[in-house]
Amino acid sequence: MSQSCSDCFSDLLCGEDSSIIFSVDLYSSDLESRPPDFDESIAALLEEERDLAGIDSHSSHHQSIDASARAESVAWILKVQRYYGFQPLTAYLSVNYFDRFLYFHHLPKMNGWPIQLLSVACLSLAAKMEELLVPSLLDLQVEGAKFIFEPRNIQRMELLVLRVLDWRLRSISPFCYLSYFTYKIDPTGIYTGFLTSRAKEIILSTLQEKSLLEYRPSCTAAASILCAANDLPKFSYITVQDAESWCDGLHKVRK
């Protein structure tokens, strides 16, 4: 049974100057439209992917979240992504915002309506970033949502998320690397469609398992391409060691 939440937070005002919004660096969310020989671009992404997320592995602000609560939130985001046919990147960014927010900000409750309100707000922001057609805030709350929030409360939560993330919504994602890594495996381009599509499926399937903050996007991309390649006998010989040679700075390490 759906429940309305009329007054969720009292401190969701955003104090950022509007100039911050326009000074954000806009990184391409997908390099598939670029030629596969952009070695310098890939090197720049590898260098900056951690800094762009704004995560310090030694930070003491990290708020732990129960794995089952996170998995439930991510599962809901993925259901809505499939329901509306959103791009895989939209789902990825939603979870990215979700994890980054909880890394830096404390919620009053780590289950129930606060977590779902955060999930709705993160999905809404990601959809606004990547989708041409975005459902209304009420229509976005589908696929088994346990609570139904008023649009004004979701908007206030969006402002809090923006403030906590310092308005940095254009995050480097594994999808930025797929075309490049696919080319390293198959320069002919014959299997590009399959490898890229399968890698995207693998990336989405792993969102519920671990926090996105634990691994660099490049490592996630390389692992997904390797798994996709192993589905084809032609590329079954490719190993992790081969992947590490694709470009400088790509290592099988956590952040």
Q: Which pLDDT tens digit goes with each residue over 192-220? A: 899 999 999 999 998 887 777 777 888 88
CA Rg value for the chain: 19
Q: What is the pTM of this model?
A: 0.77
Closest-CA residue to 113 (of 121, 105, 123): 121
Q: Give pLDDT tens digits for 56-76.
A: 444 444 556 777 888 899 999
Chain position carrying tokens 């809090």: 160
Rounded to 5 degrees, φ, ψ at 208 are: -80, -15
What's CA 140's distance to the chain center, in Å? Answer: 18
The secondary element (H helix, E strand) that includes residue 95 is: helix 88-104
The secondary element (H helix, E strand) that includes residue 4 is: strand 4-5
The secondary element (H helix, E strand) that includes residue 114 is: helix 113-130
State how far the Cα of 44 lies from the Cα of 218, in Å rounded to an integer.
12
State how far the Cα of 52 lies from the Cα of 55, in Å rounded to an integer.
8
The rounded mean pLDDT for the chain is 77
Answer yes or no: are the C-beta atoms of 52 and 168 closer than 8 Å.
Answer: yes
How is residue 63 annotated by DSSP?
Answer: P
State how far the Cα of 229 lies from the Cα of 198, in Å rounded to an integer.
9
Tens digit of pLDDT at every position of the chain (255 positions): 444 444 444 444 444 443 333 333 334 444 444 444 566 677 777 777 756 544 544 444 455 677 788 889 999 999 999 999 999 999 999 999 999 998 888 877 666 788 999 999 999 999 999 999 999 999 999 888 888 899 999 999 999 999 999 898 888 889 988 988 888 888 888 888 999 999 999 999 988 877 777 778 888 888 899 889 888 888 877 767 666 667 665 654 444
